[in-house]
Amino acid sequence: MIDRTTFWTVVVVLGAATYLIRFSFLGILGNRPLPLWLVRALRYTAVAVLPALVAPAVLWPPATGGEPDPVRLATVAVTVLAGIFSRNMIAAITAGGLTFYLAPQILSGL
């Protein structure tokens, strides 16, 4: 169960912080140049945060009691390969989803 005080704090603070990030240069800072190191680091925020957030659940899924699961590992491998080769997020997610549902049936049919 999600604690409601935590939830509403997250809604207000994350909402305000996200707005300030979007407003920052457009609204206040204008055409000021950013330091090069900051430009570089900002470029990699999404690829650093998103996969790390889910990596533990891939290796040690709560749904299997923390045991590594061949279906989930195969799903991730297919998703990554499809994404790299297609450069298309929807194609990657679709390929991963199909693997996740079809792999158990293929494995049990062997």
Identify residues 22-41 at the interface with another protein (CB under 8 A). 22-27, 29-31, 34, 37, 39-41
Return the H-helix or E-strand segment holding 49: helix 45-59
Task: Give the nearer residue to another protein in terms of CB position, either 49 or 110.
Answer: 49
Between 4 and 110, whose beta carbon lies closer to another protein? 4
Query: Is residue 107 near another protein by the rule CB under 8 A?
Result: no
> Taking CB under 8 A as the rule, does residue 70 contact another protein?
no
Provide the sign of the torsion angle of the four alpha carbons 6, 51, 45, 18, taken in this order. negative
- The reply to whether 110 sits near another protein by the rule CB under 8 A is no
Distances (CA, A) of 42 to 28, 34, 38, 84, 95: 19, 11, 6, 21, 29
- The CA distance from 33 to 73, in Å, is 43
- Nearer to another protein by C-beta: 28 or 110? 28
